[in-house]
Structure 1
Amino acid sequence: MKKTAAFITCLFIILNLLSCNSQHEELITPPNIVWITSEDNSKHYMKLFDEHGVNTPNIERLASGGLTFNNAFSNAPVCSVARSTIISGCYAPATGSQFHRRMEQVPLPEGLEMFPAYLKAGGYYTSNNNKEDYNFIKSDSVWDDSSKKATWKNRQANQPFFHVQNIANTHEGSLHFRKRKSTVTDPDSVFVFPNHPQTDLFKYTNARYRDHIIKLDTLVGNVIHQLEKDGLLENTFVFYFGDHGGVLPGSKGYLYETGLHVPLVVYVPEKYKHLVPAERGTRIDGFINFIDLAPTVLHLAGADIPEQIDGTPFLGKDIKLSEINSRDEAFAYADRFDEKYDLVRSLRKGKYKYIRSYQPFNYDGLYNEYRYRQPGYRQWKDGFEADTLNDIQAAFFKTRPTELLFDIENDPYETTNLADNPEYQKVLLSLRSRLKEWIINLPDLSFYPEFHLKGVAFDNPAGFGTQHKNNISSYVEIADLSLKDFSTVGSTLEKALHSSDPWQRYWALISCSIFGKEALPLKPAIATIMQNDSLPINKVRAAEFMGITKTEDPSAVMTQALYNCPDPVEALLILNSIALMHDAPYNFKFKINKDLINPAVVKDQEVNRRLKYLL
C-alpha cells in the first residue's frame, strides 16, 4: 500500500511540474473510475445482449464509446455473496463469506483490505452511494463516504476518484406486487422462459420487469449526464454491470445462466484508450468473472494488486486482447439463501455448463419465504401441485440430478441435461475433474456446515481452510462417491459411516441419501447414527435418509434435535431438513411446539421465517 501511495504522489508532483503541457497531462493524470451497478438483473432483458430484451439507449451509448463484454459472470447469484466477491476479489467459499444472509461478518484474509482502501491510500477519493451488503468486517480505510449522499463532488480539487452508484429499482422486491398496473411493455410481446408456465401472469411479470429495465437505463443516463455536466466524462472510465442475475423465478439464488450471466459495459475515454486492449465500440467474448473487477480497477489506477486476490485484470497497461479472449471459464457457488440451505457449484467452460449438486434432494423450489413473495413463484408452485406443468417446467420442484451438463449455445435456458448422454461423457468428465480441482484448491469451506464454521473458523476463515485442506479434500472424496455405482462404493461408504471424524460420517450420510433405496444395505449403520451419534446434525442427516427412502418416520428425531439445539445457525440447518420432509413428495407430519425451542433460537429472524411456514 505504501508503494501505491508513493506512486500516486509522484504522479501528482509530475503533473504540477508539467501543468503547462497538456499532452503530458493526458499521459500522466490517473483516470477517474465510476461503477454503475444495478440490482438483480441478468443480461437477458437488454437488447444489447439478448434478442428478447428492451432498448437501453444510455447503456448502449456507453457501449459505443467503450467495450461490451458478452460473457460476464457473477460468481454468486445473490447480493451479499456477489458483493463480497467483488469488494475482496476473492472466491467467497474460501473466505467464509458464502452465506446469504450472513449470521456474522468475517475478517478478510490476513493482510488483505477491501480493494478501495488501496485506492484511497494512493490518493483517490472513494465514495459509494450507497449499498454495501458485505459479509466481511469493514475497516474505516475503505470509503471516504459511503452513504445515500455520497458523490465524487466532495473530493479535493483535481483529486482522482473512484465512485460506485448503486441503482435499486430492478431489485427482486420490485416484483412483490399485490396488484397489476398497466405497463409500457406489451405483455403479449414478451418472451417467457421455457421453464416457466406460459401464463398471463408470467407475461405480465416479464413486461413489468422490462419496464424496470427501461427506468434503469434512464437512471444510468442521469449519472452519465452529471459526469458530462461536471466536465468529467472524458477523464472517467464508466463501468455498468448487474450485481448478479435475476429476477424472474428460478434465476436469483440459482446457478443457472439467468442467475449468473450479467451485462457488463465499460466506457473508455478517448485519452485513455491506450489502457484498453481493443478499439472503442468492440464486443469482447472472453469470460470475465466478478473476482476480476477489483484487480482491474487497481490496475487501471496504477496500483499494485495484492497477492491474495484471486482475480486477474482485464483492462489496463499491457493487457492483451488475445489473452482476454483465451479466458473461457466461470466458477460459481450457491449456499444458503435466507432460511433455505443448498450446496451447489458450477463451472462454465466455453459453451458448456456443468452444475454439481452436493445435496440434490434439496430441490430448487423448496420453500423460501422471500422468493415466494413474488406472485410468479406461487403460481408456478400451484401449477406443479395441480399437475399442469410440462416436464421442463416441473423440474424446479423435483430432486435435481447430482450432475447437470448443458450446451449453452444450443440450449441457453438449460432445459436438456446431457450428463447421461454417452456422446458428452468426455466433456462431463473433464468439467467434473476441473470443478473438483477448483473446490479442493480453494479450499471450499462449505464442506463443513455453516454452524461449525461459525463456531471454530470465523475468526480466520481463510487460515482455517488452509489448515484443514486435507480434511476438506477427504469430504469431497466421500461426496463424490455418490457419482459412482453403489455396488462399487458401498463398502467405502460403510467405512465412512463408522469414521471417527464426524464430518466424514456427515458426508457419508448425505451420499447415502443421494443413493436413496440403493443404500438400504447400510440402514443398520445409519440407524445407529440416528440414535447414538455424538453430533445432533448427524442424527438429523440419518433421519433424513430414513425419510427419503420412506423406511422410517424422521419427524421425532428431527423435532427432538431442534428442541435440544442452542444455536440458531444449527437450528436453521435442522429446520431445512424438516421443511424438506414436511413437503411433497415426503409429506411427513411434524408437531412442533415453539415453546420447547431454545429462546435464543426462536429470536433469530431466519429461524422464524421457517417456523412461520411449518407451524
Structure 2
Amino acid sequence: MKNISGSLCVATLGLLGCASHQKEHVEQPNIIFIMTDDHTTQAMSCYGGHLIQTPNMDRIAEEGIRFDNCYAVNALSGPSRACVLTGKFSHVNGFTDNASTFDGSQQTFPKLLQQAGYETAVIGKWHLISEPQGFDYWSILTGQEEQGDYYDPDFNENGKHITEKGYVTDIITDKVIRFLDGRDTSKPFCVMFHQKAPHRNWMPAPEHLGMFNDTVFPEPATLFDDYAGRGRAAAEQDMSLARTFTDDWDLKLMTREELLKDTTNRLSKVYRRMPVEVQHKWDSVYAGRIAEYRRGNLKGKELVSWKYQQYMRDYLATVVSVDENIGRLLKYLEDKGELDNTVIVYTSDQGFFLGEHGWFDKRFMYEECQRMPLIVRYPKAIKAGSVSSAICMNVDFAPTFLDLAGIDIPEDIQGESLKPILENEGRTPDGWRKAAYYHYYEYPAEHSVKRHYGIRTRDFKLVHFYNDIDEWEMYDLKKDPNEMNNVFGHPEYAEVQQEMMSLLKETQTQYGDTDPEEKEKVLFKGDRRFQHRQK
C-alpha cells in the first residue's frame, strides 16, 4: 500500500533519492502532531468517557475523524516516540525501552518532510536521550530524567539550556505559537507538539488546583480485580493503587513544613520550584486531603477507593489544561486563516490505567493502555464526524504524514498510510491488516511488567509472557471486554487459538520479529537489565 514511484525523480531533488521526493501537483498541508503523555481514551468525552469533558479534543473529532482501534506497539514513552518518528517497530529502530538511546542518524519522517521543503519543529517532551535531528527548531524538556517538570521547567532549546517560568502545559503551547508566528510563510510546516501532561505525578496548573476536590468519580468495574484465572504477570506487577502508589509523590501527603524540611524528597524538590504564591495555594488545596488521610485510618478496599479518588482529581485536572491549550492553538490557527490548511492530529504515546484492574501506569498489552486515542481534523480530505474501526498502530503515523504531503513512502517503513481511511469516511480498505502487533521489553525494571508480545484482532487478543516465565493468555474481547477471563487452552476455543497462533507467526514474519526471545539474547548481550533470568 506504499506509494513508491519508479523513475520519475525530479532532478533538483535527485540527491534526496526517489524514496522521498515530492509528487507533482500535490498541495502540501501544514501538519501539527499533538501528542500527550499517558492520556487514555477513558478520559476523553469524544470516546464516550464519563470522567471529564474535553470540548476542544471533541471538536477535532467532530470536525474530523475518530479512530476507535488505534494501538501502541510498545506502550512505553520513549519506545512509542521512536516508533512514531521512524514508522518502524522497536526491534528495528533500536529503541526498545526507556534506558535506550535513540539513533538520531536514522531515517525519520521529519527529515523526509524537511528535505521536501517543510519547516519542522519539535517542542515539549522528547525523552529519547539523544538530541533531535531533522528539525529546524527544537525545544525539549529536560530534568526529572527527561520527563521535565510541571512548574518552571527546564528546556534544551537548539542546544542551549534554559529555564522557563510558569506551568509546563501553557509554556509548551506558548512555544508552539511563537514558532508559528516566526516561521517561513513560504513553506509548509510540521510541528510535533508534545505535552508532558498528564504524566505522573499529575500536578495541576495553579488555576486548576483543587478543581475536582468535591467530585466523586465512578469507580471502574475492575478496581478490585484479584487476577483469578490469569497468570503471574498480572499478579506480580508493581503498579497497583494498593501497593505501589506512594504517599508523598503520588498522593502528595506532605505539609509545607515537611516539604521544606526534607530537601532530598522528590516532591520537595518539585515544590521548591513553584513560585511562593503557587506554593500557598498548593498548601491550602492539599491540606484537606492530608487531614482526611491522617484522621481516617483507612484500610483495605476503603483505602484503595480513597486513593483512586485522589488520583482522578489530580490526573484529570492536568487533562483540563491540555484541552484548554488545544483550544488556544485552534483559535490561533483560525485567526491566522490556517486552520483548514492544517492537518491537526491528537494522540498520546499510549493509553493508561485509570484504576482498571486496580492499576495505574501502562506497559501491558491489556486494552486500557495498548489502545491509544487518535483523532484527526483536515476538512480538505476528511468528512466531519467520520469514525473508523480499522486496526491501526502508531507506526502508521509516519507514512500517513508523508502520504498526505505527497512524498513517496520509503520501502523500509513498516507502518501503512492511513490516508485511504481518512479520505473514505473511516472505511477499512480491502486487504487491510487483520491484527495489531505488540512487543514490550522493559523487564526487570520499574513496575515489574514482564516481557511479552502478541496480537490483537477485532475480536481476540493473544499474549505470550516470556523471559522468566512462559505463559500464554487469550481473551474473547466481545464476551470479555475487560479481559478478566483467560481462555487460552480452553477446549471450546481450540480452533480460534490455533488461528491466532498462526496469525501471530505470520505477523511476526511480516514485521521481522521472528524468534523474538532468541533475538533478545543477541540484542541485549552484556546488558544486565536484559539477561535471561529463571526464577
| Band of TM-score, shorter chain | 0.5 to 0.7
Given candidates 493, 497, 521, the residue that maps to 1:428 is 497
Match of 1:189 in 2: 217
Distance 1:185 1:327, change over 3 A: farther
CA RMSD, aligned part only?
3.0
Residue 64 of structure 1 corresponds to 62
Q: Which amino acid aligns with 1:414?
A: E
- Aligned pair 1:171/2:199, yes or no? yes
Distance 1:319-1:3 versus aligned 2 partners, 3 A rule: farther
User: Offset of 1:89 from its aligned partner?
Assistant: 0.3
Letter in 1 for 2:114: K
Residues 58 and 221, structure 1, Cα contact 8 Å, conserved in 2: yes
1: CA distance between counterparts of 2:59 and 2:474?
36
Tell me how far 1:183 sits from its aligned partner: 4.5
Separation of aligned partners in 2, 1:307 and 1:131 = 29
CA distance in 1, matches of 2:203, 2:493: 38
Q: Matched residues in 1 for 2:60 and 2:191: separation?
A: 17
Aligned CA distance change for structure 1 residues 312 and 6 (closer, same or farther; 3 Å): closer
Tell me the amino acid that sits aligned with residue 219 of structure 2.
Answer: F
Question: Partner amino acid for 1:411?
Answer: D
- SS of 1:429's equivalent in the other structure is helix
- C-alpha contact (below 8 Å) 2:388/2:421 kept by paired residues: no
Superposition deviation, residue 69 in structure 1:
0.8
In 2, Cα distance between the equivalents of 1:99 and 1:83?
A: 11
Aligned to 2:91: 93
Equivalent residue of 2:31, what SS? strand
Equivalent residue number for residue 211 of structure 1: 317
* Displacement of 1:437: 2.9
Q: 1: distance between equivalents of 2:112 and 2:530? A: 38
Equivalent runs, 1:18-167 vs 2, <5 Å:
29-102=27-100, 104-106=101-103, 113-134=107-128, 140=133, 142-148=134-140, 149=175, 151-167=179-195
1:346 aligns with 2:346: no
Task: Confirm or deny that 1:257 pairs with 2:367.
Answer: yes
Match of residue 465, structure 2, among 357, 360, 365: 357
Structure 1 residue 71 displacement after superposition = 1.1
Aligned to 2:396: 292
Question: Corresponding residue for 2:419?
Answer: 315
| Alignment pair present for 1:238 and 2:238 | no
2:471 to 390, 402, 410: 402
Preserved CA contact (<8 Å) 1:330 1:349: yes
Partner secondary structure for residue 345 of structure 1: strand
Query: Partners of 1:48 and 1:327 in 2: how far apart?
Result: 25
Task: Specify the SS of the correspondent of 1:311.
Answer: coil
- Cα offset, 1:100, TM superposition: 2.3
* Number of corresponding residues: 393
Larger Rg: 1
**Pairing partner for 1:443 from 513, 518, 525:** 513
Higher RCO (Cα < 8 Å, 6 or more apart): 2
Code of the aligned partner of 1:189 = F
What does the per-residue CA deviation read over 1:557-584, in whole Å, with 9 as the maximum and x for residues that have no partner? xxxxxxxxxx6x22x346x95xx96xxx
| Per-residue CA distance 1:389-428 (angstroms, 9 max, x = gap) | xxxxxxxxxxxx7111112233222111111322222121
- Which residue of structure 2 lines up, in the alignment, with residue 390 of structure 1? none
Q: Give the SS at the match of 2:504.
A: helix
Q: Distance in 1 between matches of 2:483 and 2:203?
A: 24
Q: Which residue of 1 aligns with 2:234?
A: none
**Counterpart AA for 2:305:** T
Deviates more, 1:189-198 or 1:253-262: 189-198
CA distance in 2 between partners of 1:328 and 1:215 (Å) = 37
Contact 2:74 2:438 in 1 (8 A): yes
Residues 249-276 of structure 1: CA deviation (Å, up to 9, x unaligned): 354111111111111110123xx22xx4
* CA distance in structure 2 between the partners assigned to 1:182 and 1:303 by the alignment: 48
Alignment-mate amino acid for residue 320 of structure 2: I
Alignment of 1:411-422 (within 5 A): 411-422=480-491
Contact 2:20/2:408 (8 A) holds in 1 = no
Distance 1:189 1:251, change over 3 A: same
Pair 1:68–1:105, CA change in 2 (3 A): closer
Tell me the equivalent position of 1:221: 327
- Structure 2 SS opposite 1:310: coil
CA distance in 2, matches of 1:106, 1:87: 11
Of 251-260 and 145-154, more deviation after overlay is shown by: 145-154
CA deviation string 1:168-210 (max 9, x = no partner)? 120123279xxxx744275533233504455211233134322
Q: 1:106 to 1:448 in 2, by over 3 A?
A: farther
TM-score, normalised to structure 1, is: 0.58
Letter in 1 for 2:372: V
Q: Do 2:43 and 2:316's aligned partners in 1 also have CA atoms closer than 8 Å?
A: yes
Question: By percentage of residues, which structure has more helix?
Answer: 1
The residue number in structure 2 matching 1:7 is 22
Partner of 2:230 in structure 1?
none
Instruction: Specify the SS of the correspondent of 2:419.
Output: coil
Distance 1:341 1:184 in 2: 31
Is this contact kept in 1: 2:389–2:427, CA < 8 A? no
Q: Distance in 2 between matches of 1:255 and 1:242?
A: 16
SS of corresponding position for 2:317: helix
CA distance in 2, matches of 1:360, 1:186: 45
1:220 Cα shift?
Answer: 1.6
Q: Deviations over 1:411-469 (max 9, x none)?
A: 222111111322222121211222133334513575247574256xxxxxxxxxxxxxx
| Conserved 8 A contact 1:185-1:211 | no
Change (3 A) 1:448 1:139: farther
Task: Give the 3-state SS of the residue equivalent to 1:336 in structure 2.
Answer: coil
Q: Distance in 2 between matches of 1:113 and 1:172?
A: 31
Structure 1: runs of 5 or more not aligned? 12-27, 362-400, 456-566, 582-615
TM, length-normalised to structure 2:
0.67
The corresponding residue for 1:23 is none
**Cα drift, residue 144 of structure 1:** 0.8
